[in-house]
Amino acid sequence: MKKNICRAITALLPITIITAVYTITPSEIVLPENARYSAYPNGFVRLASAVDTRAVGETEVKAELFGAFPIKTVQVSVVPERYVSVSGEVIGVRIYSDGIMVTGIENTGAARLAGIKKGDVIEKINGITLDSTEQLASVISEDEVNTLTIRRGEERLEITVRGRNKEDGYSVGMWVRDSAAGIGTLTYIAPDGSYGALGHAICDSDTELAVPLSKGTLSPCRISSVKAGKSGEPGELVGAIGSEVTGSVLENSELGIYGKTAPLDENLFPIATRFLVKEGAAQLWCDVDGTGTKSYAITIDRVSGSSKPNNKSMTITVTDPELLAKTGGIVQGMSGSPIIQNGKLVGAVTHVFVNDPTRGYGIFIENMLAEVEKIK
């Protein structure tokens, strides 16, 4: 019996390996012009022939397991090399929501009885489009019965709520918010003034959901102190957001915030596609003490092979003694800090590991650039 099981496993093992390798081998590889490429989509697979990146174009190449067993045909695209200005500057961000966010519900209030939920977005009251929490509160306090137009995910609902009569007017027992503000790091500015920052969405502090964007602004931020991170307690940059507006926010997505600002004619770096990002030494650009952007040593520990855009494309470890002494590693406010490897911009920091602030996640820069194309 054991021999039969062993034979079955031995027979299935090659099929399992080939299937797994087929799945993780990309069907398309995008390389910038004149890129140096090792011809290894992963550690086991080699392209059957070298890719000529001296000219823009497309070609098909066989991918082979151990350089001997054909796995699949890979489409290789060589695209024009792009340059952007790398920043690393700490910025203040103010965004205003598209609708009024419900951030909390009383346990026995009228809102709960009517079926309103935390995370709902109120678009209208009695058919009137809402612009602010003050407008919503004013109407609710005056009228006992109101109809709310609510956005819940992809749904739109009409919910009638009957308020409770209090000394200063009617109340329905819910907490709402129409804006959010915070600090983060500007990753890059393209020649046309479009920028990418943070590498993740700005979320409401109570619902932990991305704030649905109506409009937003960038402003300078002056760092006053830093709270170093430690295991179980993420640190943070502490700063004051200035009143001057230096840019607009046009998108608040899971892959960062994007908009327009003044072009920057310095720190030009070529863009690396995800196929050029390798495990090994890299540099992190950030400002953690208000003295300006500096370069710090990090290591890229793992690179994701997933073709699905996400903000956890790589894991990194801070190794620079100076940065570790200042911050303990990655802290809140450093999200968006550019990652440079082999003279190219490869991505940006997005998250810190709560139990190990020396480590965190990064996003591929090509994922951020793809978001800008959606806006255009």
What CATH number should be reported for the domain holding residue 317?
2.40.10.120
Task: Characterise 23 by phi-psi region: left (phi > 0), alpha (psi -120 to 50), beta (else).
Answer: alpha
43 and 157, same domain (yes or no): no
Asked, for residue 101, whether it belongs to a domain, the answer is no
Is residue 64 domain-resident?
yes
Same domain for 243 and 195: yes
Does residue 304 share a domain with residue 339?
A: yes
Say if residue 60 is in the same domain as residue 111.
no
Is 27 in the active site? no
DSSP 206-259: TT-SBPPEEEEEEEEEEEEEEE--BTTB--EEEEEE-S---EEEEEEETTEEEE
* Candidate list 87, 200, 287, 337, residue with the active-site label: 200
Report pLDDT digits (tens) over 217-241: 999 999 999 999 888 888 999 999 9
pLDDT 10s digits, 167-220:
778 899 999 999 999 999 999 999 999 999 999 999 998 999 999 999 999 999
The CATH number of the domain where 148 resides is what? 2.30.42.10
| 262-274 pLDDT per residue, tens | 998 889 999 999 8
Active-site residue identified among 143, 206, 320, 356 = 320
Report yes or no on whether pTM surpasses 0.85.
yes
Please state, as a whole number, how many other Cβ atoms lie within 10 Å of the Cβ of residue 107.
6
269 in the same domain as 135: no
Q: What is d(CA 98, CA 307) in angstroms, rounded to the nearest whole number?
A: 31
- In terms of domains, do 166 and 183 share one? no
Residues 218 and 357 in one domain: yes
Residue-level pLDDT at 250:
95
Q: Is 137 helix (H, G, I), strand (E, B) or coil?
A: helix
Q: Which of 347, 93, 343 is nearest to 241 (CA)?
A: 93
Determine whether 200 is an active site residue: yes
Which of 172, 195, 225 is a domain's end point?
Answer: 172
Least confident of 33-37, 146-150, 152-156, 348-352: 33-37
What does the pLDDT read at residue 117? 95
Residue 100 confidence class, pLDDT cut points 50, 70, 90: very high
Is 329 within a domain?
yes
Select which of 287, 335, 337, 351 is catalytic: 335
Domain interval for residue 60: 2-81
Q: How many domains does the chain have?
A: 3
- Alpha-carbon distance of 222 to 45, in angstroms, equals 48
Q: Are residues 188 and 332 located together in one domain of the fold?
A: yes
Are 163 and 188 contained in the same domain?
A: no
Residue 132 sits in the same domain as residue 69: no
Co-location of 325 and 341 in the same domain: yes
Q: Residue 39's domain is classified under what CATH number?
A: 2.60.40
Task: Supply the pLDDT for residue 221.
Answer: 95
The CA distance from 41 to 144, in Å, is 64
